[in-house]
Chain A
Amino acid sequence: MSKPISRRQLLQWSGLYSASLLLSSCGSSLGSSEVGQAFEPLNQATQALLLSQKPVSEYPLSAIEPDKLLINTFDQTPQIDPTKYRLQIEGEVNHPLQLSLTDLQEFPLASMVIQHVCVEGWAAIVQWSGVRLRELFRLAQPKSSVRYVYFKSADGYYESWDLASAMHPQTLMAYQKNGQPLSVDNGAPLRLASPIKLGYKQSKWVTQILLTHQLMPSKGYWEDQGYEWFGGL
């Protein structure tokens, strides 16, 4: 005759079971992508809700931390001839653009001292200067269907952003860092820079900007490995 399981025993067993489940998953990525996928919609909606077009408060020039900005690259550092470089803006726009560095430098220079935050946990206060992305969009005239912006880089890196974040007044296509011309390691000739996104969203060596109405299966190099897509700060 077997005794029926008491509520107490059941609770004890379920407690032990969940504890062992937790311990056995330590050190492995088991379940991580499922958890990420389950909670990304909620986290993303919260981040989109928090996003505002108001400029982020900046730091004084004296706060810049030149040594703290680390170099992260997923593959190789591309060498680009600045005279031959062209930035293409295309997709669902009325006026596709092809801009040389001289063309870009004719736009008013926008400059900001902001905190660059890396997904790895470090941060650096840095000054970026360049062209406001929204200025370029004003010329290209996105169609009303556009919701996403893809950035393609010379090293094969790719990223996608929501349109609202791309239109933020402090989202720049930067060609200067801390008042100096951008170094190749930091993304010369042209990189994305913004205080409202994590570092992996801020592509270096950008050569093509594509405006679309939908996200493609490839959302971004790191996003496709499991980082969250929105990456807002």
Chain B
Amino acid sequence: MTSTTSAKRRKSPPIPTQALLAKIFHWTNLISLFVMLFSGLQIYNANPVFGGREGWHFPSFLTLGGWLGGGRSWHFAAMWFYALNLLWYGLYVLISRRWQKRFASDSDVKALRVSQNAKRKNYALHRIVYTAIVPVLVLSIASGLSMYKPVQFHWLSSLFVNWQILRTIHFIAVPTFILFTFIHSFLALRVGSIRLIRSMFI
């Protein structure tokens, strides 16, 4: 029985598989990031980064928490899941040397520039895009920590020059992550169709 199914499968392209730990990271990151994002917009509305109190506010259906205090409660609860998830996954990627196989490298950049193979180019582009989001994930923690504890992490917050620049950098994560979600989904579909997407979620 096993031999017949494996014989059948050999004819179609192999079904993509993901490590269980990668799936756990992906789920936790996706959910905690969007809780951070919607509660972040609630906090934003208390004093918009652009224009202050007279500035444009986000409509309430995009916010989580109902009021500033509620938004902060969600934000400072989800931060633990978001940050610790990124931390253990980062260690796992380093220790398992996953970064050598599953993240973009020179060969992807080279493929994008010189390869004639459209499939290889799509694959390279997708790897470069999801690798490039990693520093943005880390920057969100650095800028967030700098605002949450500007005194105890003064060495960190002083890197952002001043408060307005710090708030702006922290906020820019929102459009970046939303844009990334669309591009990442689109590229994943193009590279491995719905089967690749399913492999990361289920």
Contacts and interface: CB of A to CB of B under 8 A. Distances in A.
A121 interface: yes
B74 A35 contact: yes
B63 A26 contact: yes
A204 to B, nearest CB: 19
B77 A226 contact: no
B80 A123 contact: no
B127 to A, nearest CB: 25
A32 B150 contact: no
B68 interface: yes
Contacts of A196: 151
A107 interface: no
Nearest to A11: B202
Contacts, number: 105
B16 interface: no
A228 B151 contact: no
Interface in A193-231: 195-196, 222, 225-228
Contacts of A18: 31
A121 B44 contact: yes
B119 interface: no
Contacts of A56: 151, 154
A226 B72 CA distance: 10
Contacts of A11: 201-202
Interface residues of A, number: 44
A207 B128 CA distance: 61
A33 interface: yes
Interface in A126-173: none
B47 A226 contact: no
Contact of A35 (B34, B60, B73, B150): B73
Given A29-B65, A32-B69, A33-B70, A39 B35 contact: no
A89 B142 CA distance: 41
B133 interface: no
B45 to A, nearest CB: 9
A1 interface: no
B163 A32 contact: no
A232 B149 contact: yes
A8 interface: yes
Interface string A17-39: 01000100111111011011011
A5 interface: no
Interface string B135-179: 000000000000001111010000000010001000000000000
A39 B77 contact: yes
B148 to A, nearest CB: 8
A119 B68 contact: yes
B60 to A, nearest CB: 4
A233 interface: yes
B124 interface: no
Contacts of B202: 8, 11-12
Given A32-B69, A32-B70, A36-B73, A233 B151 contact: yes
Q: Which 7 A-B pairs have the closest CB atoms?
A: A29-B66, A32-B70, A36-B73, A226-B69, A27-B60, A39-B77, A120-B46
Given A25-B64, A32-B73, A228-B72, 19 more contacts: A11-B201, A18-B31, A26-B64, A29-B65, A33-B73, A36-B77, A39-B77, A39-B80, A50-B152, A56-B151, A119-B68, A121-B43, A121-B46, A123-B163, A227-B69, A228-B73, A232-B151, A232-B152, A233-B152
Interface of B: 31, 34-35, 38, 43-44, 46-47, 49, 52-53, 60-74, 76-77, 80, 149-152, 154, 163, 167, 201-202
